[in-house]
Structure 1
Amino acid sequence: MLDAKRLQILLSVVEGGSVTAAADELFYTPSGVSQQLRKLEEEVGQPLLQRHARGMVPTDAGHVLAGHARAILQQMDAAMADLDQLAGLKSGSLSLGTFPTLGSSFIPLVISRFRKMYPSIKLDVRSTRLSELIGLLAKGEISMGLLWEYEWMRLKRDDFELTTLFTEPTVLVVGAEHPLAQLEEVDVAATAHEQWIVRANEHPVAELLERTCNAAGFSPKISFQANDYQEAQAMVSVGLGIALAPKSAVVNHHPGVKVLSLGEAAASRSVLLAQRRDRVRAPAENAFQTLLVDMGKTWID
């Protein structure tokens, strides 16, 4: 394999016409230039330069190799310039996966700030369910994924590096006219007679509700199964029942509901950034991670 430094020395001698000119340009000694040229000739197996009265002139092989050297070195300069652009976050792209709760609350704020800081970075953002996010990460279709876990439903740590961004409490959502709406914090036992709205399709919040109510000594009575938290809030607002939700899900809450604390009675949810361990991370990915961690510190206060 040809050495790029020796190609540069050859090109400098051919363009400058002498070993001395190349040495001055490249900050070598003339003997150092000559030594590198001899090694290059050994590598290619034929003479590259001939000494004449007016300096050094290339042989036919020297002309050919000098032409290639010029193209190779220009391409290397272009590669370094592209890398410098990336290092300065003046170009590049980032693929991110999130889930609907964050996609309607936390992530838009992060993206807004990131685009102001790095307007030239192209963002590809997808929102889907937890299992699909894990699949997209595993296949490399996204480079970063926002995931979540409860204490009884931990994510596997084998394939991904996980960074906790924040831990958010579970809150109680009641109608604005509900008697409990006058309180700031509710004892779960006080809800034993209530009807409950839960997420459909065996969503983890349904298990969370069961665990929370069972710990308080009763089983919840389900009145409606909602497809998302917006639908759940709408049904709460018209008095069909009350509901549990992670706090991020009700940051943008329905005007007809009130969000109340349950203290430590219901388990919290951890939101994590997941990245594959076997990937080399681009500068844009590192910058977005830094911003996620920084904004996560103050997201749930």
Structure 2
Amino acid sequence: MVDARRLLLLTAIAEHGSLTAAAETLGMTASAASQQMTRLEQEVGQPLLHRLPRGVRPTAAGTALAERGRTIRRELRAARADLDSFARLERGTLRLGSFPTASASLLPLALTRFARKHPGTRTGVYSALLAELIDSLHTGETELAMLWDYEWNRITDPALRLTRLLDDPSMLVLPADSELLERRLRLADLAGQQWIIRADNHPVAEVLRRSCRLAGFEPEISYESHDYQEAQAMVAAGLGIAIAPRLALANRRSDVRLTGFPAGVPAPTRRILLAHMDNRAPTPAALAMTEILISVAAKFAGPAPRRGSLGAVTRERGR
């Protein structure tokens, strides 16, 4: 097999007509260049250069190989240009995993900023459940993925590198005219209330049941919703009250009110995380998106709201 580096040396010699000049161009000594050419001739089994009193001239075989070397050199330069364009984010694709709450809050602003700064890089978003997002990282379907966990279901996959974006506390969702808004609540005070939960064993339903059991009662369920907008609509209609992560309530209806989680049990708070595979170096596009997501998350982060306090969530820079 022909050594590509020696082939490129032969091409330079053919172009310069001098072994010494070619060596200087490639940052080699003349002696080293001569040794490499000798080895190349041994590899191909025939002479490639005519040694003349002043300079060298390629043989017919040397001329043919030098032309092949020009093609290889062009392709290598093109490959370097490709890599440089990816490094400058002038082209390429970033595959990003997300879940509905993040896609409806953090992600639009992050995607807009990324597209504005790096218009040559296309972003593909894969929205899925938690287990599917983790699988997509392992299979390479996504390079980055936004994940979440609670204290009782921490993500412990050793293959993942996790970046904590923000903490997302649970909120109580009440009708705008609820008399409960006038009280400083403990969770036990809500034992007689009807509750609206997420259907299909959604994690927020587990959050409610865990919290109520800690407060000493089982929640009475009046409605199972399939998304947070539907849950808000049912709260507004008077079918019951609900809890939801604060991030899920970024688009709050005008006929519901949010309060901090009632006192009496620890306020359930989930972590919003950004993950990538620990054994794969992130691409320049992934590094740029990570920086943007951290910045955007800071706009949504803030201290946990005062328990039972009424009003919109205060925004401030996160940790």
TM score, norm. by length of structure 1:
0.92
Distance 1:279 1:182, change over 3 A: same
Give the match for residue 271 of structure 1.
Answer: 272
CA distance in 2, matches of 1:107, 1:182: 35
Which aligned pairs between 1:231-250 and structure 2 lie closer than 5 A?
A: 231-250=230-249
Residue correspondence of structure 1 range 1-301 to structure 2 within 5 A: 1-52=1-52, 55-182=55-182, 186-262=185-261, 265-301=266-302
- Give the deviation of 1:90 after TM superposition: 1.1
Q: Where does the alignment leave 5 or more consecutive residues of structure 1 unmatched?
A: none
Gaps of 5+ in 2: 303-319
SS of equivalent residue, structure 2 residue 153: coil
The Cα shift of 1:196 comes to 0.7
1:198 shift after superposition: 0.4
Q: Distance in 2 between matches of 1:209 and 1:43?
A: 74
Maintained 8 Å contact 1:166/1:300: yes
SS in 2 for 1:169: strand
Q: CA RMSD in A?
A: 2.0
Describe the shift of the 1:28–1:206 C-alpha distance in structure 2 as closer, same or farther (beyond 3 A): closer
CA distance in 2 between counterparts of 1:233 and 1:99 reads 19
What percentage of aligned pairs have identical amino acids? 44
- Measured in 2, the distance between the counterparts of 1:198 and 1:228 equals 10
Counterpart AA for 1:139 = T
Work out the CA distance in 2 between the residues paired with 1:186 and 1:123: 44
How far does residue 47 in structure 1 lie from its aligned partner after superposition?
1.4
Q: How many Å separate the matches in 2 of 1:283 and 1:126? A: 20
Structure 1 Cα separation of the partners of residues 155 and 260 of structure 2: 26
The alpha carbon displacement at 1:32 in A equals 3.5
**Secondary structure of the residue that 2:152 maps to in structure 1?**
coil
Quote how far apart the aligned CAs of 1:27 are. 4.2
Report how many residues are paired.
300
Partner Cα distance (1:18, 1:203) in 2: 75
Residue 208 of structure 1 contacts residue 266 of structure 1 at CA under 8 Å; is this kept in 2?
A: no
Instruction: Name the aligned partner's letter for residue 291 of structure 1.
Output: I
Q: Over residues 77-129 of structure 1, what are the superposed CA-to-partner deviations in whole Å (9 max), with x where a residue is unaligned?
A: 11111001111111110111111111111111111111111111111112222
Distance (Å, rounded) in 2 between the aligned partners of 1:50 and 1:58: 6
Deviation (angstroms), 1:69: 0.9
Q: Deviations over 1:178-220 (max 9, x none)?
A: 112346x642223222111000111111111111112222221
Give, as a single letter, the amino acid of the residue that structure 2 aligns with 1:42. Q
Q: Counterpart of 2:135 in 1: which secondary structure? A: helix
CA-CA distance at 1:144 after TM superposition: 1.8
